[in-house]
């Protein structure tokens, strides 16, 4: 197993977003120096990271020179690909460019966040694109770890969901009683930081992660309790999801017909230091303007 110099900065891609920001904060709390990669170092999110002690640098995944300069002198990398909704060919191109640039400058350990069960031929376009990047990572001369998060709790506080919540409805293309493996962005960041700190334990492993199983009915009830509003779940037909995005519809179809497989009990038993958030804890930590 490659020895990692923990005095070198950890480069964190997507550092001003939910996952990358959580990883950067978790690493800083562990005392690891962080170099936060972002397209725009002038944003408020970048300023927050700078105030916490991170070095913030500009990095453009479509600019090789920019990536090389941003990664030079770092010892490890938290890598993520472009968020859902982008051009998938661009996601693959940019993701592989980031990994290649890291190896070229001597990065020794890369933790890549993919999606739960992306390695199982799901047929979900934005899972398959991440699997392509995973396979590329495995060919490189670097110690690697892949983590596959389940369903983000943060999805339930975005604009589209908030609109329906204000009408007292939690709209989701899922049956009320079908459980989903949920995870908070903070737990993704904490697990990534753990893997980056322990390459001997996590190197060469692909680990799907989530913190809790919850049904849409339970999610609606938890948000209702935290917001002081009565919220009920309404199953949205897959045809409605299809009208927004074929990729989105494929994902929910897979969730309904096959489901995701995550060993949540094992994760909680083996890695309690992550501090896994329950949905009920996550909803009470947020302000719900409904």
Mean pLDDT per 10-residue section of the chain, whose length is 290 residues: 78 96 98 96 96 96 93 97 72 95 97 98 95 98 98 91 94 97 98 97 98 98 96 96 92 97 98 97 93
Vertex 116 angle, CA 45 and 277, to 5°: 55
pLDDT of residue 5: 79
Helix (H) or strand (E) holding 159: helix 159-165
**What confidence score (pLDDT) does residue 146 get?**
98
pLDDT confidence of residue 284:
96
Closest to 195 (Cα-Cα) out of 134, 230, 146, 248: 146
Q: Which pLDDT does position 83 carry in this prediction?
A: 57
**pLDDT of 88:** 86
3-class SS of residue 257: helix
Look up residue 157 and give its DSSP letter.
G
Give the per-residue pLDDT at 86: 58
CB atoms inside a 10 Å sphere around CB 128: 17
Per-residue pLDDT at 177: 97
**CB-based contacts of 117, cutoff 8 Å, min separation 6:** 127, 148, 208, 260, 261, 262
User: What pTM was estimated for this model as a whole?
Assistant: 0.95
């Amino acid at each position: 197993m490659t020895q990692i110099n923990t005095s070198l900065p950890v480069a964190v891609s997507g550092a001003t977003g939910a996952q990358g920001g959580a990883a950067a904060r978790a690493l800083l709390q562990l005392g690891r120096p962080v170099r936060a990669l972002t397209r725009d170092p002038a944003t408020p999110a970048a300023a927050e990271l700078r105030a916490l002690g991170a070095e913030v640098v500009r990095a453009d995944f479509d600019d090789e020179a920019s990536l090389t300069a941003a990664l030079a002198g770092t010892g490890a990398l938290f890598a993520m690909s472009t968020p859902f909704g982008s051009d998938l060919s661009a996601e693959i191109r940019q993701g592989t460019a980031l990994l290649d640039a890291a190896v070229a400058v001597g990065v020794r350990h890369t933790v890549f966040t993919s999606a739960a069960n992306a390695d199982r031929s799901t047929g979900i376009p934005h899972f398959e694109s991440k699997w392509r990047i995973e396979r590329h990572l495995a060919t490189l001369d670097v110690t690697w770890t892949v983590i596959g998060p389940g369903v983000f709790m943060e999805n339930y506080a975005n604009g589209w969901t908030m609109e329906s919540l204000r009408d007292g409805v939690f709209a989701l293309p899922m049956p009320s009683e079908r459980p989903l493996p949920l995870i908070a962005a903070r737990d993704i960041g904490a697990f990534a930081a753990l893997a980056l700190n322990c390459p001997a334990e996590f190197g060469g492993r692909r680990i799907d992660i989530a913190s809790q199983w919850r049904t849409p009915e339970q999610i609606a009830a938890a948000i209702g309790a935290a917001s002081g509003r009565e919220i009920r779940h309404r199953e949205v037909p897959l045809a409605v999801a299809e009208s927004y995005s074929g990729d989105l519809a494929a994902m929910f179809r897979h969730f309904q017909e096959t489901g995701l497989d995550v060993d949540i009990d094992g994760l909680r038993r083996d890695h309690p230091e992550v501090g896994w958030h329950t949905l009920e804890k996550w909803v009470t930590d947020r302000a719900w303007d409904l």
